[in-house]
Structure 1
């Protein structure tokens, strides 16, 4: 695969039990001496997404519904769809590496590491703008909120996304997903097709 598929690149899984889920490349393995003997990548992604929360919910309920479930897998490049976006997540590569597939005791630790980092970045919300202000800037860059998109169902907006709440036909997250998938984003109008994910299995 080309050099643009590097660690930190956001990808969509195309096959298997995690098909349609978002993930981040942790390591590229391009040498022919590795096992399996073809180019592949180690990825960490989101299995179960956080559930929707409202202001009327208790703190305990919000904390419970803000959790996610992660996965760590090795995929052939042909089974991943790279997007144009990259994210900088401080995942510990001494914990999340290929050793988790040879030592079963290491896999739960790798899953906990990925889960903790994804939840921490998800809870930061608007702080992804690089400012402590709760109000997002007028010029919103979707790339800055890619990690929030990564941790949210595609039918929901990332925290702080500046769009008109009454404009339900064209949420910014749908446009972002269309762009990542290579679909045209112009002249969508009110009949824009939504790319909505099914509700997470862990949500009521």
Structure 2
């Protein structure tokens, strides 16, 4: 790389050209480190229950299933009752009941959930439930161990801790599959229970 250094401002002398040696290329990142970096990105997305971001970190085979997981986390709106029943439900009773179920959720989010129920608005119902999940729950990936790479596939043991609402933390270690697609390591664990 050539660096130009001007000798004296306004001087008529020609610019001085100096040369510095190019920096060596960075060492290639190992597959194991790339998988650890991927899991760190997943933990960040999981921390905010960002299913769109999680799907971007997932192999093509399971991408849609991960993106659509949010729709399966909560009971369907129809489980709460028929539209006519919900429209006539006492608002204060609904609010206090949900606040007892989710004491860490903000009053504004509880109000959004109650409003969605009364209007029988499924997208708003899903959004309010997701926001309650974000406010009351936490998920962390505590460890990535036993990474085994075989060509463009890999496995690792992930230790995760979930705190859902008022339940005590639950920690478990499970095997997880990974696949390299288009030069990039992605999570390739089937998100559906076996």
Same fold by TM-score, threshold 0.5 exceeded? Answer: no
TM-score, length basis structure 2: 0.26
For the pair shown, which has the larger CA radius of gyration, 1 or 2?
2
Structure having the larger proportion of residues in helix: 2
Larger strand fraction of residues? 2
